[in-house]
Chain A
Amino acid sequence: MSKIKVVHYINQFFAGIGGEEKADTPAELHKGEVIGPGMAFQKGFGEEAEIIATIVCGDSYFNENIDKAKAEILEWVKDLAPDLFVAGPAFNAGRYGVACGTIATAVQEELGIKSMTGMYVENPGADMYKNKVYILETRDSAAGMRQAVKSMTAFALKYGKGEKIGASVEDGYMNQGIRVNFFEKERGSARAVKMLIAKLNDKPFTTEYPMPVFDKVDPMPAVKDMAHAKIAIVTSGGIVAKGNPDHIESSSASKFGEYDIEGLCDLDESTHETAHGGFDPVYANYDSDRVIPVDVLCDLEKEGVIGKLHTKFYSTVGNGTAVASSKKYGAEIAKLLKADGVDAVILTST
């Protein structure tokens, strides 16, 4: 059997070009080159598969020029005609994950070429694309590279050879919202007894069929009298007082902070900064009003358009933060806002 031909997609960081400052690097085709994590993949593939080209693209470039970048890359992949397209792994890098998901899906859907990627389960790219393309679950940072390469290599070879892909739990890809049958090692009754014993002892267990439940929040009715309303700001953009006194994490935040802005009508680099690790912080640090519009709301208060800007704002970092944590912080913040008589909230994200 001839070798499986693979084209590999990575971002500017993993290509060794640079970090955030090089995120605008346009797409590049490196024919016959194996770059960055590709080396580990190639080692894992052994004689069974070969990376015939590596495509490198800056995360900002891809996301800001999505149509152009996609068209360029698809053209290259079409000419290369690989058996398999592998993107990433992107771990918990949001824009890289979205880029991997977008391009992997496009290659599969538009060129009919088998395609896959890998990332952390909470990467926004996962939710966007897990039902469209195989996404192997990785850890949240590049510290999990070895593991990611191992599982992605095994999957790539199986998939590339055209072997039958089993259920998500068997082959380590994220559940695609499609129920797939497979044989467990133990019969159902034994699994049920084990699950019950775990549940009785407050030990973790995993249901085999998560009940479809949607946490829908009905929007409040519109504020009728803005001229007398007290408005607050809440953000997941990570704006904190200068020096990040609460030490809010740059990713997977374990807390939220409360910050006093009484008498402030403009945030600048002497007063505030962002703790967020998921975007280039330069402009947010330079003028935090870009993330939470204190300046504009202050003006509106003076003009009588709104009754009052609440003197405190609440902030956490949305980057890599679990939905369960976000929900918890949201509930706590809501309680504080209610106690202070706030009528409406402007939520900003990044």
Chain B
Amino acid sequence: MRLELGKINITDIQFAEESKIDNGVLYVNAEELKPLVLEDEKIKDVYFDIARPGESVRITPVKDVIEPRVKVEGKGGVFPGWIAKVDTVGSGKTYALKGMAVVTAGKIVGFQEGIIDMTGLGAEYTPFSKTLNLVMVCEPIEGVKQHDYEPAVRKAGFRVAARIGELARELVPDETVVYETQTFKEGIDKYPDLPRVGYVCMLQSQGLLHDTYVYGVDVKQIIPTIISPTEVMDGAIVSGNCVSACDKNPTYVHQNNPVVEDLFAQHGKTLNFVSMIITNENVYLADKQRSSDMTAKICRMLDLDGVIITQEGFGNPDTDLIMNCKKIEAEGIKTVIVTDEYAGRDGKSQSLADADVAANAVVTGGNANQLVILPKLDKVIGTLDYVNVIAGASDHTLREDGSLEVELQVITGATNETGFGRLSAR
């Protein structure tokens, strides 16, 4: 599959009468976007705000982060199963608005929404302090349950991101990158001497607000399957989950999956990037066994020499991670796993809930339990009403001087387990 990704660099976002992209500046008419959000009767109100890198702004509670994209050539459209129909995506041409993101925030959905600080210590830990953020702060109608409200906010985010992406349809990209994978036979013929490498992407599916969707399908319901790594660039996988902010994969991370990018960078040089394999992290033992068996079997059937396995979430999914690793290694396929750690605030505890000697090549995104003090910032987009109850916070979080005492857990993307950031631990 071949996808041309055209990058349009956004250098500022401003509110204006007319929504458009001009000379790298995104102009947004918020009044035009509002009805798009309020289409869903579960959302009572919404307001938009802009947070720029370096500003003294804290966004919380953050639910999802999305990169606006538009499909300009080829089958299907962005966010298949949500915005576009379910045609297979990942080929043709797609434009992405780089340097910006749509952030959904507002009244809490679960307990695992996050914080994005645009300056100070917190900004060092979140990748989204470096993006211009168009924040949509949603307010639910009275009495709506979390599991009803979560899809409402999720889908509203995709509608807004897709609408903004549309503004780029007629533009000329600043840069174009071509991503191309071969079919299995073509790949073997073209790169007979290169090791065959796959990417096993574990998707959060513990349920109860811990869900991910692929082409609109709840990942709890899938058995592991293969997809082209270019499909994720068109939004084939989206986040619907409220796992701790530090190591959940916002939709933005799926669209810009760093393992996909870095394997493509080596494709045809040091390795042959054969396929991406998606699997789930269900809580039942039978599901874990079935999924890890299937994943190992697919790796074997693809004649892979090596795979990178990434995780999402922690604790219970650690067992899926280790099962996948063990079973794939048992097939004679070399693995590297990417995870993060919960080693306690003092760093002295065992980092994972499961361990095996087969997991001898580990990349870590750092210890999520590390305590940090985030300074008081001038402006809050959203609300601090929930800051003491989100995962990684405590009764002592909001301090008298307005600073926050929190674990890294609360910071969106801080210890990402696809290797999105540079944080690590020893």
Across-interface contacts of B258 in A (CB, < 8 A): 187-190
In the complex, which residue of chain A has the Cβ closest to the Cβ of B194?
A200
- A167 contacts B425, CB within 8 Å? yes
Q: How far is the CB of B249 from chain A (nearest CB, A)?
A: 12
Across-interface contacts of A196 in B (CB, < 8 A): 197, 271, 306-308, 334-336, 361
- B426 contacts A168, CB within 8 Å? yes
Most buried by A among B124, B261, B364, B420: B364
Interface residues in A199-218 by Cβ distance below 8 A to B read: 199-200, 205, 207-213
Tell me the count of chain A residues lying within 8 A, CB to CB, of chain B.
Answer: 34
Contact A208/B362 with A179-B347, A182-B424, A193-B263 known, Cβ cut-off 8 Å: yes
Complex partner residue of B334 from A167, A199, A211, A212, CB under 8 angstroms: A199
- B306 contacts A211, CB within 8 Å? no
Contact A191/B270 with A181-B370, A182-B424, A185-B422 known, Cβ cut-off 8 Å: no
Interface residues in B312-355 by Cβ distance below 8 A to A read: 334-336, 338-339, 341, 343, 346-348, 350-352, 355
Tell me the count of chain B residues lying within 8 A, CB to CB, of chain A.
Answer: 55
In the complex, which residue of chain A has the Cβ closest to the Cβ of B419?
A188
A227 at the interface (CB under 8 A from B): no
Q: How far is the CB of A171 from chain B (nearest CB, A)?
A: 10
Across-interface contacts of B422 in A (CB, < 8 A): 183-188
- B423 contacts A207, CB within 8 Å? no
A25 at the interface (CB under 8 A from B): no
Complex partner residue of B357 from A183, A188, A193, A213, CB under 8 angstroms: A213
A178 at the interface (CB under 8 A from B): yes
Q: How far is the CB of A277 from chain B (nearest CB, A)?
A: 33
Interface residues in B260-285 by Cβ distance below 8 A to A read: 261-263, 265-266, 270-271
Across-interface contacts of A195 in B (CB, < 8 A): 336, 361, 363
Chain B contact surface mostly: mixed
Interface residues in B357-372 by Cβ distance below 8 A to A read: 357, 359-367, 370
Across-interface contacts of A193 in B (CB, < 8 A): 259, 262-263, 265-266, 308
Interface residues in A148-202 by Cβ distance below 8 A to B read: 167-169, 175, 177-193, 195-197, 199-200
Across-interface contacts of B350 in A (CB, < 8 A): 212
- A192 contacts B259, CB within 8 Å? yes
B175 at the interface (CB under 8 A from A): no
Interface residues in A272-330 by Cβ distance below 8 A to B read: none
Across-interface contacts of A209 in B (CB, < 8 A): 339, 341, 351-352, 362, 364, 425
- B262 contacts A189, CB within 8 Å? yes
In the complex, which residue of chain B has the Cβ closest to the Cβ of A211?
B355
- B343 contacts A179, CB within 8 Å? yes
Q: How far is the CB of A287 from chain B (nearest CB, A)?
A: 44
Across-interface contacts of B67 in A (CB, < 8 A): none
Q: How far is the CB of A69 from chain B (nearest CB, A)?
A: 31
Across-interface contacts of A187 in B (CB, < 8 A): 258, 262, 419-422
Across-interface contacts of B266 in A (CB, < 8 A): 193, 197
B356 at the interface (CB under 8 A from A): yes
Interface residues in B404-426 by Cβ distance below 8 A to A read: 408, 416-426
- B362 contacts A183, CB within 8 Å? no
In the complex, which residue of chain B has the Cβ closest to the Cβ of A205?
B361
- B419 contacts A190, CB within 8 Å? yes
Instruction: Report the Cα distance A179→B351, complex, angstroms.
Output: 8
Across-interface contacts of A175 in B (CB, < 8 A): 426
Most buried by A among B258, B265, B363, B364: B363
Question: 14 pairs across A/B with beta carbons < 8 Å?
Answer: A169-B426, A179-B341, A179-B351, A180-B426, A181-B366, A181-B370, A181-B424, A183-B424, A192-B419, A197-B270, A199-B336, A200-B305, A207-B361, A212-B350
Which chain B residues have a beta carbon within 8 Å of chain A's beta carbons? 124, 195, 197, 258-259, 261-263, 265-266, 270-271, 305-308, 310, 334-336, 338-339, 341, 343, 346-348, 350-352, 355-357, 359-367, 370, 408, 416-426
Which chain A residues have a beta carbon within 8 Å of chain B's beta carbons? 167-169, 175, 177-193, 195-197, 199-200, 205, 207-213
